[in-house]
Amino acid sequence: MYNFKNTVAQDLLSCLTKLSDGINLTKEEVMDMFEYPPDSSLGDIAFPCFKLSRILRKAPPVIAKEISEMFTSDVVSKAVAVNGYLNIFVSSEYLIKNVLLEIEQKGEKYGSDGSGNGKVAVFDYSSPNVAKPFHIGHLGTTVIGHSLKMLHQFQGYDCVGINYLGDWGTQFGKLIVAYNLWGSREAVEKGGVDELVSLYVKFHNEAEKDETLNQKARDEFTKLEHHDETNIMLWKWFVEIRLNEYQKTYKQLGIEFDSYKGESFYTDKMPAQVEKLRQSGLLKIDDGASIVDLSEYNMPPCLILKKDGSTLYPTRDIAAAVYRKNEYKFDKCVYVTSAGQSLHFAQWFKVVEMMGYDWHDQLVHVPYGTVSINGEKLATRTGNVILLKDLFATAIEKVSEIINEKNPDLPNKEEVSEAVGVGSVVFYYLYNNRIKDINFIMKDALSFEGNTGPYAQYTYARTCGILEKASNINAYETKPVITVNEETELLKVLSKFNEAVNSAIREYEPSIITRYIIDVCTAFNKFYHNCQIVTADSIEVRNTRIRLTDATKTVLGTAFGLICMKKTEKI
């Protein structure tokens, strides 16, 4: 629809200049004024004339009527003045030529406009704390981050996905203490990640009764920072166990990272940034700790070094940002973390600016809300968490039960169950605005009805089934024709894909794509239920509808890839 609005804006601008020399709008400004009517029967786009009233000294309805009487455009079927709006209807010929034929020509590239060509975007996401379990709380950063990466990549950005592993910090001191006190190599080798989680939880339970354990943990981490041989050996072992487990989950999601450089990578890069802060006069001593005073910006001080000289998160984040700018020459560096870390990012972003780095405004924090299960909040320290691997396993199992009941002879049942099960969790999470808190309810996520992943994947499978039935038909032997409203409405929705992609990038909001997917599914299923496709009476109509089905499959398939959801040809 962007191209349609672009053409209409140019034609409309010609009319406006005829009305008055005092109207100095650009084509882009006219496009920004367009609105989508609440009901498509009122028009496909609407041009409000209220802002022109003061310039032309006329009532908006009068202006709209005058424009309608002189307005002509090759891409418009009609333009009607209604209550101060010029309601504009797209022509069927335009939809065929600029939507259907363009989808067929561009295929999976349809919707991509190359707006990111020549630009580099770095994405810091997922980034689990290696000392803690990989649980549902990590789902947001993982799927939001990867979706944003795929959206930017789709528009031509050179993207770098970084899994900034939380592989450094006091939490490792806690894990080392717990292992030394209650663990064993045999138990960890046998239990793997689950045993490490148990040790971490046990530490916090015991620390509530014995406060000295926290100091011991700090001491062990200090030893780790000073390259104590035993602690370094344990640390590397713990990280390796975690990474092997993470890879299984990432594979289910179809996610690959370009870099796994975690916090530990920057241990030798922090001193230079600390020294830069010191030389610039920004570093101050407060009760033994080194800080940057941010009171001028209505923020608490940014802690750079603890009393014992140990580094903190801001120190590592600043060093990482400088390294990434030098390494990747990014145009934007995006950090996807919980909204609870918003102050942290605001603080160290400001410190980077104060340090004189002129690329500080290329740093972007994308926050998201909390997640609970059936209304119950999660807490790592108490062990009250739902591991991602367990959540996916449960979803896959339940989908498998549904498939065994409704389609027991389905080929590749295990593969389909995993695609739909994992997809249902991802879609459910990404359907709402990212900043909203989410209460995850498995039953709702797995429903094949409503605005869900299974509904979307089933619709995609439906398009595949229709095309399989029509595999012996040459649908391209006749010119496409539009005969009913359902065909028109489907093409209109498909035409909005590029706008949805760009809006999702601009707002860092993957839910725009999930909601667009539902719009496509709704329009297609209405078309499917009300129109004969393969059995249509007319050859021209039949061929057009087969091609519409194929176009829908193409756009849905591309959109799935932008939100970490796999395509399912049969369910």
DSSP character at residue 301: P
Find out whether 145 and 126 touch, Cβ atoms under 8 Å.
yes
pLDDT at 380: 47
- Give the pair of three-digit tokens for residue 173: 């001191």
Q: Is 547 buried (19+), middle (13-18) or exposed (0-12) by CB count in 10 A?
A: buried
pLDDT of residue 14: 87
User: Is the distance from CB of 55 to CB of 49 less than 8 angstroms?
Assistant: no
Task: Return the structure tokens found at 249.
Answer: 């989950």
Residues of each domain in the chain carrying CATH 3.30.1360.70:
2-90
User: Given this model, what pLDDT does residue 447 score?
Assistant: 86
CA torsion 126→131→137→139, rounded to 10°?
30
Residue 377 has what pLDDT?
Answer: 56
Q: Which ranges in the chain are annotated with CATH 3.40.50.620?
A: 132-267+313-382
Residue ranges of the alpha helices (H) in 82-225? 92-95, 101-106, 139-154, 170-182, 185-191, 193-207, 212-225
Amino acid at 464: C
The predicted pLDDT at position 310 comes to: 76
The DSSP line for 223-258 is: HHHTT-HHHHHHHHHHHHHHHHHHHHHHHHHT---S
Alpha-carbon gap, residue 416 to 249, rounded angstroms? 16
DSSP calls for 186-224: HHHHHHTHHHHHHHHHHHHHHHTT-THHHHHHHHHHHHH
| Number of other residues whose CB lies within 10 A of the CB of residue 297 | 11
Class of domain 2-90 (CATH, top level) = alpha beta
What is the pLDDT, as a whole number, of residue 382? 44
Question: Architecture of 388-561 per CATH?
Answer: Orthogonal Bundle (1.10)
Pair 444, 428: CB distance under 8 Å: yes
Token couple for 453? 């992943």
Q: What is the pTM of this model?
A: 0.90
Residue range(s) occupied by CATH 1.10.730.10 in the chain? 388-561
The two structure tokens encoding residue 334: 């995006």
Rounded CA-CA distance 28/22 in Å is 17
Contact 424, 285 (CB under 8 A): no
Helix axes 212-225, 170-182, angle to 10 degrees: 110
With beta carbons less than 8 A apart as the criterion, state whether 315 and 277 touch: no
Fold of 132-267+313-382: Rossmann fold (3.40.50)
Using CA atoms, how far residue 82 sits from 46, 65, 86, 319, 548, in Å, is: 10, 8, 6, 58, 32
List the pLDDT tens digit at each of the 571 positions of the chain.
778 898 899 889 888 888 877 677 888 888 999 999 888 888 999 999 998 888 888 899 999 999 999 998 889 999 999 999 999 999 999 999 999 999 999 999 999 999 999 999 999 999 998 877 788 888 999 999 999 999 999 999 999 999 999 888 888 999 999 999 999 999 999 988 889 988 998 999 999 999 899 999 999 998 998 889 999 999 999 999 988 888 999 999 999 999 999 988 998 999 999 999 999 999 999 989 999 999 999 999 999 998 878 778 999 999 999 999 999 999 999 999 999 999 999 999 999 999 999 999 999 999 999 887 765 554 544 445 678 888 899 999 999 999 999 888 888 899 999 999 999 999 999 999 999 988 888 888 888 888 999 999 999 999 999 999 999 999 999 999 999 999 999 999 999 999 999 999 999 999 999 999 999 999 999 999 999 999 998 999 999 999 999 999 999 999 999 999 999 999 8
